[in-house]
Chains A and B, each alone.
Chain A
Amino acid sequence: MSTLEDIRQTFFQECEELLESLDDGLELLRDGLDEGQPVDSEAVNAVFRSVHSIKGGAAAFGLEQLVRFAHRFETTLDDLRALRLVLSFDILEVCLRAADQLAELVSAGREGRTLAEDAGAQTIAKLISLSGGGDVPPADGGEVEEGLNTYAPMPLNFDPSPMLECDADNKSLFKISFAAQPKLFINGHDPVHLFRELSELGDLSVESDLSRVPYLDNIRHDDCSLQWVLTLLTTEAEAALWDVFDFVVDLCTVEIQKIVQGGEPSIHIGECNATAISAENVSIVTEGPSVPLAAEVASYSNTQSSNAEHVAKAAPIAAKATVCVDLDHVDRLINVVGELVINQAVLTQCITAADIPMTAALSSSLDEFMSLAREIQEGVMSIRAQSVKPLFQRMARIAREAADLAGKNVRFETDGEATEVDKTVIERLVDPLTHIIRNAVDHGLETEEGRTAAGKTDSGTVTLRAAHRSGRVLIDVSDNGAGINRARVLKIAKDKGLVPADAVLPDSEIDKLLFLPGFSTAAEVTDLSGRGVGMDVVRSSIQKLGGRINITSEPGAGTVMSISLPLTLAVLDGMVVDVAGQTMVVPIATIVETIRPEAGDLHRLADGMTVVAVRGRFIPVVDLGHVFKFREATKTYSDLVYLLVESDHQQMWALAVDRIHDQRQVVIKGLEGNYGHVPGVAAATILGDGKVALIIDPEEAVQRTDADQPVPDHSQLKDC
């Protein structure tokens, strides 16, 4: 049972990849249309192949709904391939929706759900209207049933490949029938040598034809009853093939047939592909007859599996070799490697402590050890890294869905899809990005009339970009809409009492109001946004990932949301500080700046609160030593160092610490597993000396200042 489940899992994993290449293909087609280029037949093929493979696999698992829809989609794609339909923006739009629906069905299948019967009915109707020829079978007719029983995904693995080959490399496919006469052997020739020579011309596969082999009692020792059928994929002309048989022409029967011509206009190649597929239909679905050429290819596919495999292997676009690894294994490795790095630091310290003379050899080995350890660490971390492409494609779906709901014409563009980010980061970006993109479509972009009035193109554009910058990942969502209506934002904030009624705020501060909890600008709650989850949730989920989010907007030109994230959740850039004798780590991402104020800059307020003046602003001081109950509230704040941090609500705080040691990358270790959550502490790490240091969560730490906490008995701790 579990093996079937495994296969099922594999199928759905493959589906993910296929959906990805489906999206890729459609993207390519759209770019082609944009630039007014002729339709890229290979992209159409790739799209078709993806849908077809999903259909094949789905049939094997009895996912009828998926099969039916895929089949419908496939019919339209087949029409596109065969040039019965000419690709246009409208058709592409339908295909994109169909791809979304397909993705929806796949995920429904994965979770064992069935969608409502009318789900995607609109898309199906559109597809039918596109390919509404007589060859469209009824959606739930016997044909599909037959498809369910007989669909074997195998043929697809190979059939388009030789076509791609001939398209890409100007190669031709030849079929050679060869039968030796006894004289051939008498003259000292050997078919093996001939075949070897042929194989030097290109990709050769050989199939023995045993039809003439007699029963043992009739066998003649001097006759060769074996015959061969060879297929050769080559750039050479037919004459070159004849040259091989030059010396043996009289001693054998040779027939050379050109099956596919290379180097002809792509329209012809398209035909090749189309016929190849419909030929496959001949054998499976018993549709109408096709051109003989195609039948030929089809018969190859059925009788010569070795040939098929061979040609498939020669496919020009070699897939990247990958292995699927359980994430637990990777995480264990990351843990051990983190340990190795710490261990190396400990070792160095031990050597220094033991007063062992640092010879050149010793110090260079230590250095090498260190760099190797770092290299392993980086390598292991990169295993967890994944490209943001699937995320982006998912967002493209969200954008289309949002555009439909909002009744807007939206173009979604992406850039930097190859950017790699930690898997967990990617997973946790889905919700915030979904929200941001829905917002961009719903609030950011104007309606069509609004755009026309502003002298803009009908369709608005939302762009999702990713890039690596100085050890972090930057993700931008920008739209070319109207920009933030600052007057309105400020008015709403004042109406809701989020800012004082007489507040005068600079533009950037007004933009930041959007991140306040309980802020929603939508005059009416739409289906898309304004469900009570605001940008504040987006902001806090980004911050939980150790990231920051910023908003910039230009009236009339659009809005940009910029997210900056750490590459991984396994390590963090931290500032190592001393708090009442305890070594602690503050995430650098949260620190705005560090200051060492003059005594005159510190002011005591009546309620015991202290504030520090920074460039004319008074910022409340929080003594971390006091927050964590390491010491009583200090009377003298002047000899402390202050880390300015900004909380979720734009509130600045100055965290007082005794000393700043240095900045370094630390490996994040959870406390939850063996102990539980400690208020004000995000996690722990292990320092170079092997000791544990706590990583502070500044947001939570400052909130503890007025929380009434029972003071634990720490008197015995002074002993340790």
Chain B
Amino acid sequence: MQANVKTLPDDERELVTFRVGEQDFCIDIIYVREIRSWTPATVLPHAPDYVLGVINLRGAIVPIVDLARRLGLPKTMLGDRHVIVIAVVADQTVGFLVDAVSDIIGVAPSAIQPTPDVTAQTTRMFIRGVIALEDRMLRLIDISAVLPPLAEQAAS
């Protein structure tokens, strides 16, 4: 609704911002399908450690990724306040566990700065760029890079 009502400057992008392990991250809103509260997931055997398991999303089986672990941060210690950001990327639906969703902001592409060179390799793998917002630094996540690998696991 919001996107329809508010008129954005032509090239401005809307981003959903959230906190993961004391840091601020964001993803493009077009990937976000919904945000829901944490429900325990069913463990998947032989899964990478950042895959918490699968949940039932209105009849669809959706894997949940602990975004902190995926980004190389300490794993999330689960509590009631955690939320799951359900994202859809090219027909694949995945839930990302985050600490809290903060805001939806409009950002001009020019405001997105390249990721500083000094950062660790995991950061360079998953972060597309950074955005300065007030006194905070938002890291723009490359959503396709954080998805659990699909193709190589689908044996059949």
The yes or no answer to B108 lying at the interface (CB within 8 A) is: no
Closest chain A residue to B46 by CB distance?
A679
Q: Does B150 have its Cβ within 8 Å of any Cβ on chain A?
A: yes
Q: Which residues of A contact B66 (CB under 8 A)?
A: 716
Q: Are A680 and B92 in touch, CB under 8 angstroms?
A: no
- Which residues of B are found within 8 Å of A690, using beta-carbon distances? 56
Cβ of B75: which chain A residues have Cβ within 8 Å of it? 716
Chain B residues lying within 8 Å of A339, measured Cβ to Cβ, are: 58-59
Q: How far is the CB of B109 from chain A (nearest CB, A)?
A: 30
Cβ-defined partner of A335 (8 Å) among B59, B77, B151: B59
**A331-345 interface code vs B (CB 8 A; 1 in, 0 out):** 000011011001000
Complex: how many Å from CA A716 to CA B69? 11
Q: Is A258 an interface residue (CB 8 A)?
A: no
Interface members, chain A 637-689 (any B CB < 8 Å) = 669-681, 684, 686
B150/A628 in contact, CB under 8 A? no
Among the listed stretches A125-133, A166-174, A459-467, A706-714, which one makes contact with chain B, having 4 or more residues with CB under 8 Å of it? A706-714
- CA distance in complex: A609, B63 (Å): 34
Inside 8 A of A674's CB, which chain B residues have their CB? 60-63, 92-94, 150
CB-nearest residue of chain B relative to A627? B45
Contact A694 B153 (CB under 8 A): no
Shortest CB distance B99–A (Å): 15
Contact A670 B61 (CB under 8 A): yes
Task: List chain B residues, Cβ under 8 A from A693.
Answer: 42
Central interface residue in A629, A678, A720, by most chain B CB within 10 Å:
A720
A678-B46 contact in complex given A671-B61, A692-B54, A692-B55, C-beta closer than 8 Å:
yes
Knowing A629-B46, A717-B52, A720-B78, the reply to whether A342 touches B41 (Cβ < 8 A) is no
A320 within 8 A of B: no
Tell me if B3 counts as interface (CB < 8 A to partner A).
Answer: no
Asked if A527 is an interface residue, CB under 8 A from chain B, the answer is no
- When the two chains form their complex, are residues B154 and A672 in contact, meaning their CB atoms are under 8 A apart? yes
Is B9's CB within 8 Å of the partner chain A? Answer: no
| A338 contacts B59, C-beta separation under 8 Å | yes
B49 at the interface (CB under 8 A from A): yes
Q: Which of A347-389 contact B (CB under 8 A)?
A: none
Cβ–Cβ contact A720 & B45, under 8 A: no
Q: Say which size band chain A's interface belongs to.
A: 35 or more
Interface residue? B110 (CB, 8 A): no
A677 to B154, CA, bound (A): 4
Residue A630, interface by CB 8 Å: yes
| Most B Cβ at <10 Å: residue of A674, A690, A693, A709 | A674
Nearest chain-B residue to A704 (Cβ)? Answer: B46
Whether the pair B45, A628 counts as a contact (CB closer than 8 A) is yes
The CA of A675 and the CA of B62, in the complex, are separated in Å by 7
Cα distance A690–B40 when bound, in Å?
Answer: 11
Interface residue A691 (Cβ < 8 Å from any Cβ of B) = yes
A90 within 8 A of B: no
CB distance from A482 to the nearest CB of B (A): 38
Task: Give the contacts of B107-156 with A (CB-CB under 8 A).
Answer: 148-156
Q: A575–B34 Cα gap in the complex (Å)?
A: 34
B148 to A676, Cβ gap below 8 A? yes
A678 touches B148 (CB 8 A): no
Alpha-carbon distance between A714 and B94 when the two chains are bound, in angstroms: 20
**Within 8 Å of chain A (Cβ to Cβ): is B91?**
yes
Residues of chain A from 92 to 124 with CB closer than 8 A to chain B in the complex: none
**Residue pair A673, B78 in contact (C-beta under 8 Å):** no
Complex contact A692–B56 (CB within 8 A): yes
Q: Is A719's CB within 8 Å of the partner chain B?
A: yes
Q: Is A582 an interface residue (CB 8 A)?
A: yes
A692 close to B42 (CB less than 8 A):
yes
Q: Are A686 and B59 in contact (CB under 8 A)?
A: yes
Q: Are A677 and B156 also in contact (CB < 8 A) when A691-B56, A694-B42 are?
A: yes
| Docked CA distance A443–B76 (Å) | 63
Tell me, in angstroms, the Cα distance from A391 to B153 when the chains sit together. Answer: 34
Mask, B30-61, CB within 8 Å of A = 1, is: 00000000001111111111011111101111
Q: Shortest beta-carbon distance, B70 to chain A, in Å?
A: 13
Measured between beta carbons, the chain B residues less than 8 angstroms from A672 are 154, 156
CA distance A263 to B10 in the complex (A): 82
| A714 and B42 contacting across the interface, CB-CB below 8 Å | no
Cβ of B56 and Cβ of A676 under 8 Å apart? no
Which of chain B's residues have a CB closer than 8 A to the CB of A583?
A: 42
Nearest chain A CB to B63 CB, angstrom units: 4
Pick from B45, B59, B62, B155: contact of A629, CB below 8 A.
B45
Say whether A675 contacts B148, CB under 8 Å: yes
**B152 CB contacts on chain A under 8 angstroms:** 676
Least CB distance from B91 to A in Å reads: 7
The docked-state distance in angstroms from the alpha carbon of A629 to that of B45 is 7
| Shortest Cβ gap from B89 to chain A (Å) | 10
Chain B residue numbers with a CB within 8 Å of A629 are 45-46
How near does chain B come to A577, taking the closest CB pair, in angstroms? 14
CA gap between A83 and B49 in the complex, in Å: 78
Q: Which of B46, B60, B155 counts the most A-chain CB atoms under 10 A from its CB?
A: B46
Contacts of A714 in B (CB 8 A): 43, 49
**Chain B neighbourhood of A709, CB < 8 A:** 46
B59 in contact with A676 (CB, 8 Å): no
Q: Which of A630, A675, A712, A717 contacts B54 (CB 8 A)?
A: A675
Contact of B47 among A342, A627, A678 (CB under 8 A): A678
Query: Which of chain B's residues has its CB closest to A679's CB?
Result: B46
In the complex, chain A residues whose CB is within 8 Å of the CB of B76: 716
Alpha-carbon distance A687/B61, docked complex (angstroms) = 12
Which residues of chain B (75-94) have a CB below 8 Å from chain A? 75-78, 91-94
The distance in angstroms between the C-alpha atoms of A390 and B85, with both chains bound, is 47
Count chain B CB atoms within 10 A of each CB in A582, A583, A670, A712 and give the residue with the most.
Answer: A712
Cβ-defined contact, A676 with B46, below 8 A:
no
By the criterion CB–CB under 8 Å, are A673 and B55 in contact?
Answer: no
- Identity of the chain A residue whose Cβ is nearest the Cβ of B91 in the assembled complex: A673
CA distance A629 to B154 in the complex (A): 20
Q: A677-B153, A716-B75 are in contact. Are A669 and B59 (CB under 8 A)?
A: yes
Q: Which of B43, B61, B63, B92 contacts A717 (CB 8 A)?
A: B43
- Contact check, B43 vs A691: say whether CB atoms are below 8 A apart: no
Min CB gap B93→A, angstroms: 5
- A712→B60 contact, CB < 8 A: no
Contact B154 A342 (CB under 8 A): no
CB-CB under 8 A from A716, the residues of chain B are: 49, 52, 66, 69, 75-78
A680 and B91 CA atoms in complex are apart in Å by 25
Q: When A676-B154, A716-B75, A720-B41 are in contact, do A628 and B59 touch as well, CB less than 8 Å? A: no
User: What's the Cα separation between A692 and B55 when bound, in Å?
Assistant: 6
Chain B residues, Cβ within 8 Å of A671: 44, 54, 61
Best-buried of B61, B69, B150 by chain A (most CB within 10 Å): B61
- Of the A-B pairs whose beta carbons lie under 8 Å apart in the complex, a sample of 7, sorted by A's number, is A342-B59, A673-B92, A674-B61, A674-B93, A678-B45, A709-B46, A716-B66
Q: Which 8 A-B pairs have the closest CB atoms?
A: A676-B153, A628-B45, A713-B49, A339-B59, A692-B42, A675-B63, A676-B154, A677-B155
**A716-B52, A720-B78 are known contacts; what are 15 more A-B pairs with Cβ within 8 Å?**
A335-B59, A342-B59, A627-B45, A629-B45, A669-B59, A674-B61, A674-B93, A675-B44, A676-B150, A677-B155, A679-B155, A691-B42, A692-B42, A692-B61, A716-B69
